Amino acid sequence: MDSALASDHGAYGAHPDGGVYLRRTVRTAAKILIVGHFAVGKTTFVGSLSEIRPLRTEETMTQAGALVDDLAGIEGKTTTTVAMDFGRLTLSDSLVLYLFGAPGQQRFTRLWQDMTQGALGALVLADTRRLEQSFDVMGLLEEHGLPYAVAVNHFDGAPSHPEEEIREALDLLPETPLVTCDARDRISSTRALISLVEYLQTRTAAQEHV
Ligand SMILES: Nc1nc2c(ncn2[C@@H]2O[C@H](COP(=O)(O)OP(=O)(O)O)[C@@H](O)[C@H]2O)c(=O)[nH]1
Ligand SMILES: [Mg+2]
């Protein structure tokens, strides 16, 4: 053992199994889900934000998949997420987010059992051209008791509605944050995630005062 390590152990009184390293990195890691229907921009969002090369599990859509996935209006898309996207974003000195992008199609319901384990909350991406397609994913989050914020991912040519109309169409609770973003833009996507994290922090603080 070198002298620096030896003195660290002395200073922190830590077991020489590495616990000392955890104490010195005062970081909270939070697991956050990025969810939404087919082609809403999940892979793009995680890719824009991740500081590590995002792990993607995509495969070329098969004919069989094409029959199931609704391709109306998005004919150019030839791949779809079959499992999940994974990325990491350091939001501040004390907070690291692990991002799990996951499909909302009903046939992936089982994946949700695993994916929601340990997750703090979710960002639901929505598209104003197909708002009703967000209900499945919001329903799944509610079933799993996971708090969420909604980010409307703005696509070119998609109608923009007043916030109140979108809230009403999605039947959002008054406290559920609703923001807009461009999943291709890192700053815009980071802002959307910050709204979710702030919401989660407010909820935690409120629960601690009950
Ligand atoms: N115009 C526009 N296109 C986007 C945006 N986000 C994603 N896209 C495109 O929409 C398509 C579907 O996005 P993708 O991230 O693969 O969706 P996913 O199925 O939810 O992972 C891709 O061709 C993206 O380049 C956006 O904010 N604006
Ligand atoms: Mg994807």
Residue with tokens 């090369």: 53
Which portions of the chain are predicted below pLDDT 70? 1-27, 55-83, 105-108, 210
Whether ligand 1 lies within 6 angstroms of the CB of 38 is answered as yes
The domain that contains 135 carries what CATH number?
3.40.50.300
Q: Give the other-Cβ count within 10 Å of 48's Cβ.
A: 21
Domains held by the chain: number? 1
Whether ligand 1 lies within 6 angstroms of the CB of 37 is answered as no
pTM attached to this predicted model: 0.79
pLDDT at 28: 84
Helical spans, DSSP H, in 33-162: 42-49, 63-68, 109-115, 135-143
The whole domain housing 113 covers 2-208
Per residue in 145-168, pLDDT (tens digit) is 999 999 999 999 999 999 999 999
Q: Helix or strand or coil: residue 162? A: coil
